[in-house]
Amino acid sequence: MKPKKAGLRYNFNESLELLSKSPLGELMKLALEMRLKLHPHNLVTFVCDTNPNYTNVCSTKCTFCAFHRDEDDKGAFTLSPEKLANQVRAAEKKGATTVLLQGGHNSDIKLKNWIEYIQTIRSLCPDIHIHPFSPSEVIDMAEKESTSTKTILKTLIKEGIKTMPGGGAEILTDRVRSKLSKDKCTSQEWLDLMEEAHNLGIKTTATMMYGHIEKDEDIIEHLIKLRDLQEKTGGFTSFIPWSFKPGKSPLTDQCSEVAHPVKYLRIIATARLVLHNFSNIQSSWFSENERAGTLALLGGANDLGGILLEENVLAETGYKKSITIKRLITMIKNAGFKAARRDSNYEIIEKFK
């Protein structure tokens, strides 16, 4: 299959053929060609961020999650605004420019608490970019506050929030979501919240977690739903896939093996071709491994994630990794690119020789 010009659409069957049947080398070559059309420069970007969690108490009990706790469980926590802000400050001193702030569906946390977290972080770390609250958290908060999601989003905007993470997407088909996260928002609710956020001027990422009970058809449906929404709003800054990590979650019994890195490369390349209206496709040394993350740069990705100074969710499965900026830059150079540090809006902060 020949690559299409930037701006032209692969239909469902063509997209499925890319993911399921195209020889890997050919698929990656097509995706790299598309990447170079969209990004003719030779830069690969990364961000320095931290992902602290303000709580691990969550009522949804998603089957893939080893992080959540009930309120009375050993190890359950809800951080005070001061403690959370101090964690962010410690990460900022190590170079973090962004804090991705997520927790869970905790019935004791109200909108006023969210505002306290934001204000306390901003007071202690005025220069750090706060990138908080996934769509499912916003939907849950609106229900708790007996108000609309638009009201919640407008409140966040008043607090200076300009971007949101695209977490909680998992796979955007309800066949899969009903088994992974039946008490979380539906696929359409996730998409509707993102459309609402985009229309209010909030930029967001889009994510996908694969490697569990989904089929290739589900992955393609997920990508096409994202592409269709992007055509309406233009509000997605990037697409970020990662594989399910078996560990201590209930889902481990159904899929005990980690998804093969080749699958990751196929997904990155297919996403680059199908998501023609997404500027950025993010690869990851963290969620996969350094080799797969680097190879994905030759298969359509133009971003290599970032330096995670704190991460707790995957750590609960026993999956822990770290990297230095020097090592990340070396990986990018070894793939034949130049490295550049960015912010959450994909604006370049610093280029490296």
Question: What is the per-residue pLDDT across 310-341, written as a single tens digit (0 to 9) for each?
Answer: 444 444 444 345 678 888 999 999 999 999 99
Percent of the chain scoring above 70 in pLDDT:
88
Mean pLDDT, rounded, for 39-65: 84
Q: Supply φ then ψ for residue 273, to 5 degrees.
A: -80, -40
With a CB cutoff of 8 Å and minimum separation 6, the contacts of 4 are: 10, 273, 276
Q: Which residue has the higher pLDDT, 3 or 270?
A: 270
SS (H, E, C) 163-178: EECCCCCCCCCHHHHH
Mean pLDDT, rounded, for 38-53: 91
Mean pLDDT score across all residues of the chain: 89
With a CB cutoff of 8 Å and minimum separation 6, the contacts of 318 are: 247, 248
* Residue-range domain boundaries for the chain: 12-351
Q: What's at 32, amino acid-wise?
A: L
- Taking alpha carbons only, the member of 327, 344, 341, 251 closest to residue 45 is 341
Give the Cβ contact number of residue 331 at 10 Å. Answer: 21
Q: Which residue has the higher pLDDT, 278 or 52?
A: 278
- Taking alpha carbons only, the member of 229, 239, 274 closest to residue 17 is 274
User: How many angstroms separate the CA atoms of 320 and 315, rounded?
Assistant: 5
User: Residue 48 pLDDT > 80, yes or no?
Assistant: yes
User: Residue 211 pLDDT > 50, yes or no?
Assistant: yes
Q: Which residue has the higher pLDDT, 38 or 255?
A: 38
pLDDT digits (tens, 9 = 90+) for 128-160: 999 999 999 999 999 999 999 999 999 999 999
Of the ranges 10-14, 87-91, 117-121, 177-181, which one carries the lowest mean pLDDT score?
177-181
Mean pLDDT, rounded, for 298-321: 65
In the CATH hierarchy, which top-level class contains the domain 12-351? alpha beta
Q: According to the model, what pLDDT value does residue 183 have?
A: 81
Mean pLDDT, rounded, for 268-284: 96
Mean pLDDT, rounded, for 25-29: 96
Name the one residue in this structure whose structure tokens are 């540090």: 341
User: What are the angstrom distances between the C-alpha of 13 and each of 21, 174, 264, 310?
Assistant: 11, 20, 20, 40
User: How many angstroms separate the CA atoms of 210 and 213, rounded?
Assistant: 8
Q: Which residue has the higher pLDDT, 71 or 184?
A: 184
Q: According to the model, what pLDDT value does residue 76 have?
A: 85
User: Residue 21 pLDDT > 90, yes or no?
Assistant: yes
Mean pLDDT, rounded, for 70-86: 86
Cβ atoms of 206 and 239 closer than 8 Å = yes
Query: Model pTM?
Result: 0.91
Q: According to the model, what pLDDT value does residue 314 have?
A: 43
User: Residue 209 pLDDT > 70, yes or no?
Assistant: yes
User: Residue 278 pLDDT > 70, yes or no?
Assistant: yes
Long-range contacts of 174-179 (CB under 8 A, 24+ apart): 175/218, 176/212, 176/213, 176/214, 176/218, 179/63, 179/213
Q: Which residue has the higher pLDDT, 270 or 8?
A: 270
